[in-house]
Structure 1
Amino acid sequence: MGNKRNSIRDFSRIWKVKRFFAVLVFLGVTYSFASHGFYVAERQHQRLLRRSIAIQEVQSHQRSLGVNETFLNAADYAMKGLVSGNRNGSVFCSHKSASGDSSLLRLSDFFRNETEWKKEGAFNIFLIETSCNSKPKYRSWCSAESMAQQNPKAIVWYIFTSPEVDLSDGLVEQLLQKYKNLRLATVHLDDVFEGTPLEELYRTSAWHSNGTLWPAANLSNMMRIAMVWQAGGFYSDSDVICISPVTELKNVIGLASFNLVNGANFHFDRHHPMVKKFMLYLNEHFNPFVWGKNGPQTVSAVLRSVCNENILYQGLVCDNTKILSHTAFNPIQPHQRSMLFLATAVQDLRKRFQGSYAIHFWNRETRIYPVVKESGTIYDLASKNFCPFSRELATKKSRIY
């Protein structure tokens, strides 16, 4: 009888212990799901908040212009970018004058600074904001900062179609004070395209009308090659972080993947014949409705024709133009883009991406990916090392940026 009672007592103790651990496991799982739920909810809230702010900004711009339904609706306008045009192709930006507004800086005109960009031995680097946005995202500023940091002997031109840049968060002043080689400038597009093979295309409404979904991207594909033609230099998209100096590069363009060259990064001398061929081809084959048609597909088609090669490959040289490996500017391919936002064990990105000048972050596909400060992801490590001021301000109010 005593043994039976002891067994019952032991069984009761074991059951209590099991129940205790079961409760702990249940609470742990519940906490994990709840934490994940809160994280997802926060991301969704921030996304909706950003979209709401963008739409409110567009509505405010439209009201200031006395515009009601000209640009379809505010949501469509926000997605397309704060840029539009009239029937002869000219661009206007919906921003008030900076006169008397201390939060806006009136930009000087790039073509009025020709003594600087034409100076003998000058190495120009160009980033271009084509959506008439006076306040680019922090990731775009990160790109500009990394170029200025890694190329102190170059002049880094961040070119805006907006006549002004927003000073309200203090980042612009910090960057201009820290990097004496960084320049912010605006342009009149008439000056950009005047006398080029793209002038006719620019004067039409093809790049922004007839329901195209990405007028700012169409303009960017035209403008980058016209700017390099006019001034000469290195062009970079603003979803690229520079990790090594590019000033050693001359008349080069990099592969994006097999048999496809990417127009996101390239260098050409002023009035280089290959750039003229890019413009001639684009003027003839421009398609505002197919993403990539006016960018990678254009430069790839021209290079195949000029080089008389069906397959483009690393090291190919023709017409004083050299094709670099995809690792030069795109060490992580578009289909691998999620790797950019995962933790990495290799802290030294230059060792991990030996032979690379920059890392392309494919913003069109990755802009919804959150970056968490000190998470050890490739993007966070790159921004920490190569654009510290932009990263610091981006994470001032939230660790997620």
Structure 2
Amino acid sequence: MIAPPSLGEAAPAGQRMSRALGSLWEGEIGRAAPSQEKCCGTGLSGTEQRRFGSHSGRGAAGQSEREDGTEGAAVNKPWRRGGPDALTPRLSGGRRQTRASSIREKARMMKWVKIGLGITCVFFLAFVYKRSQPSGCIYPCQPCAELFPMQKDDVSQSSGIIFVETTDRLEPPPLVSCSVESAARAYPNRPVRFFMKGLKNNTSMDSVSTSPAFALLSAMKNVFLLPLHMETVFQDTPLLPWYHKVNPAQERYWLHVSADGIRLALIWKNGGIYMDTDVISIRPISLEDFLTAEDFRLAGNAIFGFSRHHKFIWDCMKDFVQNYRGDIWGHQGPGLLTRRLKALCPVTNFHKVEDINCLNISYLHPQRYYPIPCGEWNRFFEVWEKSVDFNNSYSLHLWNYMNRQHKRVVAGSNTLVENLFKTYCPTTYKVLIQGPEGSSP
């Protein structure tokens, strides 16, 4: 009978078995630990992602969901050392974190794309706006003159009738009022712009409310009283350097010369018909580009009309500066228009009451606007035995600068000028001639 071994003899064998099992267990841990380190640090390799991805719905997370019924138990369960399933929760969180980072990056990119598109849109609109303005400007080169406070409606953009007052007076005399009123009646669908040097942007209504003529004209729906800023008028024209250089105090005919330049610049910028404030309109003219003959030798500048930015007017402004002679009466006005007209085509004598066409510019017979010539201006203040209809005329120029005796329109005198007032500017006649200020100059 063989006796069983004692405890002292069994110990070495048990130790050997323990060491063998320990080596086997350490080998399993040694293979799992590097994978766990990659997941927490630099991430899984492609092969390990594919191998561990197959356990995303099973293993520790899936087992925990089946046992506890909550996803949170799987996420918060302590790590077990060993087995790829223990790494599954960490892998799923890494994917969600990567996806969230990708979404945030795309959001940032879209934000900058929107900002870039917005800036591009602003520059495009600025470019379009610049192209719509005169050359060299991104803001309007000619600031729009503010309407006088009593005006409520905006000035129409269509070309209209233009009058100019180059003195500082704010009380238009009867003849000026009649000129503006008759034009407003003859051209009811066109704006009548009256530029007045005496008007300022800060002029109060009270300072001119005592003027009956001012109130009369302001009440007409198509009449607009505007301040006259000479610097603004000459801006972006050949006349601006001349205006900066000239000394008004040394100019013999400054009021007339400045008015000659102003009418050219205003017609260039706005288009339409210019009229002196001693012209009474009888009927409208349908022509757009025209000059008027004072007599058979001279083109007048008391009435003329051109479309906006017409080359003829630009050439006139250049001639105004290059051949300036302000000391010669009429050199910058009728003489200028005559020179420029002859440069285009030879002007021959008129045949009967017929107009001349010169390169699409109509040169109108003297009967159209000057049926009573300058040397006979007194006839307007005479009583005519026979009535006259002026069938061949559009307007009448009264040659007021010749009226050095300051003859007046007298109510009941039956003179030609009184009858013209009654017919073509009845409101002016009633308020300024028949009213308290009757017989005013």
| Structure 1 residue aligned with 2:223 | 182
| Structure 2 residue aligned with 1:384 | 422
Kept in 1, the 8 Å contact 2:290–2:363? The answer is yes
Distance across 1 between alignment mates of 2:274 and 2:284: 13
| Structure 1 residue aligned with 2:186 | 150
TM-score, length of structure 1 as denominator length: 0.66
**Alpha carbons of 1:301 and 1:312: their partners in 2 closer, same or farther (altered >3 Å)?**
farther
Look at both structures and tell me which one has the larger radius of gyration over its CA atoms.
Answer: 2
| Structure 1 residue aligned with 2:173 | 137
Secondary structure of residue in 1 paired with 2:184? helix
Distance across 2 between alignment mates of 1:136 and 1:107: 20
| Structure 1 residue aligned with 2:277 | 238
Secondary structure of residue in 2 paired with 1:127? strand
Q: 2:397 aligns with which of 360, 368, 388?
A: 360
Matching residue's letter, 1:278: C
The answer as to 2:253 corresponding to 1:214 is: yes
Kept in 1, the 8 Å contact 2:171–2:213? The answer is no
The answer as to 2:302 corresponding to 1:264 is: yes
Aligned residues: 283
Kept in 2, the 8 Å contact 1:304–1:312? The answer is no
1:44-63 maps to which residues of 2 (within 5 A)? none
**Alpha carbons of 1:392 and 1:116: their partners in 2 closer, same or farther (altered >3 Å)?**
closer
The answer as to 2:202 corresponding to 1:202 is: no
| Structure 2 residue aligned with 1:324 | 364
TM-score, length of structure 2 as denominator length: 0.60
More relative contact order, 1 or 2 (CA 8 Å, 6+ apart): 1
| Structure 2 residue aligned with 1:126 | 162
Q: 2:290 aligns with which of 252, 276, 279?
A: 252
Kept in 1, the 8 Å contact 2:193–2:224? The answer is yes
Secondary structure of residue in 1 paired with 2:249? coil
Distance across 2 between alignment mates of 1:107 and 1:386: 29
Alignment RMSD: 2.4
**Alpha carbons of 1:303 and 1:262: their partners in 2 closer, same or farther (altered >3 Å)?**
same
| Structure 1 residue aligned with 2:378 | 338
| Structure 2 residue aligned with 1:64 | none
What is the deviation of 1:134? Answer: 1.7
Distance across 1 between alignment mates of 2:409 and 2:231: 39
Q: 2:342 aligns with which of 301, 304, 321?
A: 304
Kept in 1, the 8 Å contact 2:172–2:213? The answer is no
Structure 1, unmatched stretches of 5+, are 1-105
After superposition, give the CA deviation of every residue in 1:114-158 in whole Å (9 maximum; x if it has no partner).
97443xxx2310000011222222211111111111110111001
- Out of 331-340 and 309-318, give the one that drifted further: 309-318
The answer as to 2:210 corresponding to 1:172 is: no
Kept in 2, the 8 Å contact 1:260–1:312? The answer is no
- Out of 147-156 and 183-192, give the one that drifted further: 183-192
Kept in 2, the 8 Å contact 1:240–1:360? The answer is yes
After superposition, give the CA deviation of every residue in 1:25-55 in whole Å (9 maximum; x if it has no partner).
xxxxxxxxxxxxxxxxxxxxxxxxxxxxxxx
Distance across 1 between alignment mates of 2:340 and 2:213: 40
Matching residue's letter, 2:178: C
Distance across 2 between alignment mates of 1:131 and 1:173: 19
| Structure 1 residue aligned with 2:116 | none
Matching residue's letter, 2:182: S
